Chains A and B, each alone.
Chain A
Amino acid sequence: MVGALAVSETGVITEHTIRLTEVSKWFGQKVAVSDVTVGFGPGVTGLLGPNGAGKTTLMRLITGLQRPSGGRVEVLGRDPRRDVDLYRRLILVPEDESVYAHLSAHQFVLLNARLMRTADPEAATARAIATVDLGDAAHRRLGEFSKGMRQRAKVAACLVSDPMVLILDEPLNGADPVQRAALINLFVKLGEEGRTVVVSSHVLAEVARMSSRIVAMVDGRLAAVGTVSELRAAMTDRPRQVRIETDRARELAGELMRLDGVAGIRLRQDTLDIEASDALGLARALPRIARDTGIRLRRVEPTDESLESVFRYLVGSR
């Protein structure tokens, strides 16, 4: 069942900035990544998976920090390990806090600019810092920053070399709501500019907002590739769930049970949780029934469309 989902897209080669072909990586006995074939293109792609699913390893393979035990990794057509020039184009924002605490944010970004041999380091630094909105605090030392601000500094350090490809590992970690919203908008903007942005995160609601495309991994293997709605549509073996709040719940339940497309109803207080094998049929019948019986619908909502529920399904099925 899971395999069927992974087939959803391969695409044309030239569309992909990053291509992985049957990539595997093991560390001794532990297989971190197993036979992954997937591509990433312009725009924001969310990389999801439980802890230990292999996301970080995958990111390190893409940026050339690790060598695949099997398969091939291509970034912009080239091997990230061999082509050092590629480092100018790819940046990884690792989760760990090994940042130079005694440098100021400005110094840190400038250092990166110089390391990447950017054309005009000072200007690039100023631009990058302005983009992540660190302006006032740029001259304070990183050691004094909160976690969220350190993350922003790291993102600035990435942006300074104007990369085509950005690989970001949990970039929102520790950021407060304002910083989060700002970063999300930033990533979306970068994606719209045509850059290839790969973001891994555990907060699914935010991933859903940022990314147009999702790559999900479970246990080292690909679990799903596609947009959220595509994935939901592909999970055809599951009936749709709809939640209805109403004042005459039991009565409505009785009416709805008569429909062929309704597989089951769970009744709780004023709420019906409906399993519909024919969601469309239900959608059409519902307003009609409500009008005819005078039952007032307070709320109607499909409860399984979110990324959360897709994810739960992906992780749960074996």
Chain B
Amino acid sequence: MDHGAPLLAAHDGRRQPAHHNQHQPGDDPEDPRLLVDPQRLDEWIGLHGNDETERRKEQPQGDQASPDPIRRSGDPQQDDPQDDLDDGPQSSGGYPGHLGRLPRQGSSQAEASEGDAAQNDEDEASQTRHDLTRRPGPTVDDPIRGHMLMGFVLEFHFSPFSRAGSEIPTLRSPETRSPHVACHTCPVPPVVTTSSLTHDYGVVVALDEVSVEVPNGVTGLVGANGAGKTTLFRILLGLIQPTSGDVTVLGHDVHSDPLSVRGRVGYMPEDDCLPGEQTAADFVAYTAELAGLPSGEARRRSSETLYLVGLEEERFRYLGDFSTGMRQRVKLAQAIVHDPMLVLLDEPASGLDPQGRDQMLDLIRRLDGFGINVIVSSHVLTDIERTAQWVILLDGGNLVRSGPLGGGGDLQSIVVDVVDHAAAVAERLSSSGLRVTVEGTRLLVEGASGDLEGDITEAVAATGAGLIRLVRGSLSLEDEFLAHSTP
């Protein structure tokens, strides 16, 4: 068995988010430490399916040279401690939430020094007791975690809707996004690929030669005119055959094999779609059974996912009695109950009041943390800005843009709010060649300086003004959308 081909643990489409940023030196395809060898992907998928346990059993005992598990590639010291600190909810919401994230800070350093003698049997043992080894976090195969889990483990349990929540920053500039930057140069297969996808309903053209690659992570889908996005979702699920063009979802061609696509995709429709006469638990369990889960498992997972989305004893009430917010949560629960690799969310926050909206967006970010890829479609651009890392803009069936959030704008300007002395600050800055516009206590600074922020801080400190806001701005999603869309 050739172990020369390391495989991203999430070869089945899930990603290890942290690794996108971790390019090994050189990125030499022959380098055995390369995180993913795309040519071997198919091979691995064919050989091992989705069963990670199986794959781990294949690893030779104590094979230090084996580059399989990502973290074992090279020295543990090379591991970027950064990677332990990010992941899902901690970086985006400010609280661990239902995931019960471990406090990875510091612990990995301690563990790292233990070396990575492959302790496969311990991993095995720990794995059966702790699903943590299968977390979509930094790595699934990390033997170090196996060690850690044998001992005393702290678990955080917070209400998913903690009011201590910090304000979710508007994702205007790339730096503030969680490190799940969709990396187009990373050799991770895109979740969805369409090529020249066209679909029309007679005269109305819903999609017109759309060729797009949807990366891992959370992708926002925005479009004027409802027909395009619903059509796209139905095409992705294999429910409609497009007029022309190809679509590949999670590596499967939708046209020839819609059923396997649907087995790994979840869908949250926009409209009312819940039967009033069943209880939430019963309904979600039924949808799990329809995805092929045996009854017992279906019931268990139904209970778990309903709990994860925040419904506790309401699970056993009839859906007819549910409020809008609860309904939306049930819809989300049924979309993830069968452990999909991709979920399609159609206006998930519609009808929700601001609090509910907050909570729903939070849940969506958490899906990202679970390692589930998401395509969210919404008309409310601020919602997209708060959840997505990649945005696809459709207008009248045409693809306007497909790119990272915030990537479409001009990053050369900075918004500065000061307490006072705005004019003095402005003067200082313009005297060093920057273009400054002043409006009251707000300055807009533009220029090609290498360190705009530094210059500004300097100027504010020198004038003794107080600094309230310093934000590198890009076009907001709405500005971009309006600029591109046909009036």
Taking Cβ atoms with an 8 Å cutoff, the residues of A that contact B are 48-51, 146-148, 173-181, 202-206, 241, 243, 245, 266, 268-269, 273, 279-280, 283-284, 286-288, 290-292, 296-304, 306, 308-309, 311-312, 315-316
Contact = CB atoms under 8 A, between A and B. Distances in A.
B8 interface: no
A298 B466 CA distance: 16
A280 B461 CA distance: 14
Contact of B167 (A48, A50, A298, A303): A303
Interface string B444-487: 00000001011001101110111111111000001001100101
A176 B225 contact: yes
A269 B85 contact: yes
A304 B90 contact: no
Nearest to A294: B454
Interface in B109-148: none
Interface of B: 82, 85-86, 90-91, 94, 163, 165-167, 169, 173, 175-176, 222-227, 323-325, 350-358, 379-382, 418-419, 451, 453-454, 457-458, 460-462, 464-472, 478, 481-482, 485, 487
B409 to A, nearest CB: 16
B352 A178 contact: no
B467 A287 contact: yes
Given A176-B225, A291-B457, A299-B471, A283 B175 contact: no
Contacts of A280: 419, 466
Contacts of B470: 297, 299-301
Contact of A49 (B163, B324, B353): B353
Nearest to A304: B167
A299 B381 CA distance: 23
26 contacts: A50-B354, A146-B227, A148-B379, A174-B350, A176-B226, A177-B224, A177-B381, A202-B354, A206-B382, A245-B176, A269-B85, A269-B91, A283-B467, A286-B466, A287-B460, A287-B461, A296-B457, A298-B472, A301-B469, A302-B468, A303-B167, A308-B358, A312-B163, A312-B165, A312-B354, A312-B358
Contacts of A290: 457, 461
Contacts of B358: 308, 312
A286 B467 contact: yes
A299 B487 CA distance: 35
Given A268-B90, A269-B91, A146 B457 contact: no
A175 B481 CA distance: 14
A273 B478 CA distance: 27
Contact of B175 (A287, A291, A298, A315): A298
A306 B472 CA distance: 18
B167 A245 contact: no
Nearest to A296: B454
A316 B163 CA distance: 8
A174 B482 CA distance: 17
Given A299-B176, A315-B355, A283 B419 contact: yes
The residue among A148, A202, A243, A280 with the most chain B CB atoms within 10 A of its own CB is: A202
B471 A312 contact: no
Contacts of A291: 457-458, 461-462
Nearest to A53: B353
Nearest to A174: B379
Contacts of B357: 202-203
Contact of A301 (B462, B465, B471): B471
A176 B223 contact: yes
A171 to B, nearest CB: 13
Given A176-B223, A177-B481, A203-B357, 9 more contacts: A51-B356, A146-B227, A147-B226, A202-B352, A243-B169, A269-B85, A284-B465, A296-B454, A303-B167
Contacts of B351: 202
* Among all A-B residue pairs, the 9 with the closest Cβ atoms: A283-B466, A303-B167, A287-B461, A291-B461, A284-B466, A300-B470, A287-B460, A205-B382, A50-B353
Contacts of A287: 457-458, 460-461, 465-467
A290 B470 CA distance: 13
B166 A273 contact: yes
Contacts of B478: 177, 181
A202 B359 CA distance: 13
B167 A309 contact: yes
A203 B464 contact: no
Nearest to B458: A291
Nearest to B379: A176
A269 B77 CA distance: 19
The residue among B86, B165, B224, B379 with the most chain A CB atoms within 10 A of its own CB is: B379
Contact of B222 (A148, A177, A306): A177
Contacts of A269: 82, 85-86, 91
Contacts of A303: 166-167, 169
A296 B94 CA distance: 23
A308 B226 contact: no
B323 A51 contact: yes
B324 A51 contact: yes
B91 A306 contact: no
B322 to A, nearest CB: 12
Contact of A178 (B163, B224, B350): B224
A180 B454 contact: no
A241 B164 CA distance: 12
A206 B385 CA distance: 14
Contacts of A178: 224, 481-482, 485, 487
A266 B166 CA distance: 10
A290 to B, nearest CB: 5
A308 B226 CA distance: 27
Nearest to B481: A177
Contacts of B472: 298-299
Nearest to B163: A316
A106 to B, nearest CB: 21
Given A176-B379, A291-B461, A306 B167 contact: yes
A177 B222 CA distance: 8
A316 B224 CA distance: 35
A213 to B, nearest CB: 17
The residue among B222, B227, B471 with the most chain A CB atoms within 10 A of its own CB is: B471
A291 B487 CA distance: 47
Contact of B468 (A50, A174, A300): A300
B379 A175 contact: yes
Nearest to A242: B468
B377 to A, nearest CB: 11
Nearest to A51: B353
Contacts of A147: 226
A174 to B, nearest CB: 7
A216 to B, nearest CB: 10
Given A49-B353, A178-B481, A298 B226 contact: no
A297 B456 CA distance: 10
Contacts of B356: 50-51
A182 to B, nearest CB: 9
Nearest to A133: B487
Nearest to B86: A269
Nearest to B466: A283
Contacts of B90: 268
A185 to B, nearest CB: 11
B389 to A, nearest CB: 17
Contacts of A177: 222, 224, 379, 381, 478, 481-482, 485
